[in-house]
Amino acid sequence: MDTHAAPTRAGPLPAYRAMVAAGALVPDPAQALAAERLQDLWAKLRGYDPPTRPAEAGFLSRLLRLRAVDDAPEGKPNGLYLVGAVGHGKSMLMDLFFEAAELRRKRRVHFHQFMQDAHARFHAFKRAHPDTDDPIPPLADAVAAEAALLCLDEFQVNDIADAMILGRLFEALFQRGVVVVTTSNTRPDDLFKGQPGRDAFLPFIALLNQHLDVLEMNAARDFRRDRLRGLRTWHVPADARAQRELDAAFLELTGGAPPRPESLRVAGRHLLVPEA
């Protein structure tokens, strides 16, 4: 299903309704409510362009940063935290919102990839500027310069290294006016639950609840499972018939889009996938 085929110039809600009218989506009250909330945020972000600051590590830059920025810029709206089980359309709706957003600076990325990039930049900056006590402000400057709107798919915290950096990084991003929209299978209050050192992570949870409105998507159906119904999932032996059935299942799950070669950038290197 191509979520980008629907018109998005008027915002994510008209795009969602157009997809329902075209039969590409089944009407769902939870999805409709999420689309309405995303439409409200879309309207608030029209013309939103918070100022950026250069990512420097010189003496004057560090001196100026001693005067901490306590509050987000005036006019910064809260972001949105879409939470619900797998297959309820969270990522699809966020993609419609991202496509419709008219901001000059915006970025849509999987949360795991975002954190990998953040760690890489963090350590690269420390190597390049060993005299710098705190790499978080310049890291936040760089991220904010790229995106006033940051859409993060599949927000989940399982890594203590991520937990240690998230609080201060996101605090700095919010202070720079960055608006975050994210999808997750886990409520903010349940993030990093049962993990060692969670007490130190609680201020970040409070920060999320302060800067993102939480919307639980309890869709009536699991739309991913719907697409698997009627498909065989066990193919033995691995012969020509099994290959044909797997090819047919692939086309069903991709909405008829044939496989094609794809180049993925992983940890600074390009990984060639023959068929994706």
Tally of CB atoms within 10 A around 82: 27
Angle ∠(105,122,124) on CA atoms, nearest 5: 105
Q: Using alpha carbons, select from 49, 42, 48, 46 the residue that is nearest to residue 11.
A: 42
- Enumerate domains of the chain plus CATH numbers: 12-46+57-221 (3.40.50.300), 230-276 (no CATH)
Confidence band (pLDDT; 50, 70, 90) for 262? Answer: confident
Length of the chain: 276
Q: List 181's β-bridge partners, or say none.
A: 80, 151
Higher pLDDT, 220 or 250: 250
Tally of CB atoms within 10 A around 176: 22
119-155: string of b/e by CB count within 10 Å (b at 16+)?
A: eebbeebeeeeeeeeebbbbbbbebbeebbbbbbbbb
Extract the runs of DSSP E, i.e. beta strands, from 217-268. 262-266
pLDDT digits (tens, 9 = 90+) for 204-248: 999 999 999 999 998 655 555 556 566 677 777 888 888 888 887
150: helix, strand or coil: strand
Q: What single letter denotes the amino acid at residue 260?
A: R
Confidence band (pLDDT; 50, 70, 90) for 151? Answer: very high
Instruction: Tell me the C-alpha distance between 13 and 117, whole Å.
Output: 31
- Has residue 186 got a pLDDT over 90? yes
- Has residue 1 got a pLDDT over 60? no
Instruction: Tell me the C-alpha distance between 177 and 244, whole Å.
Output: 51
* 125-129, 140-144, 237-241: the lowest-pLDDT one: 237-241
pLDDT digits (tens, 9 = 90+) for 71-105: 667 789 999 999 998 888 999 999 999 999 999 99
Confidence band (pLDDT; 50, 70, 90) for 4? Answer: very low
* CA trace torsion 94, 97, 103, 109 (10° rounding): 20
CB-CB contact of 89 with 1 (8 Å): no
Instruction: Tell me the C-alpha distance between 121 and 52, whole Å.
Output: 18
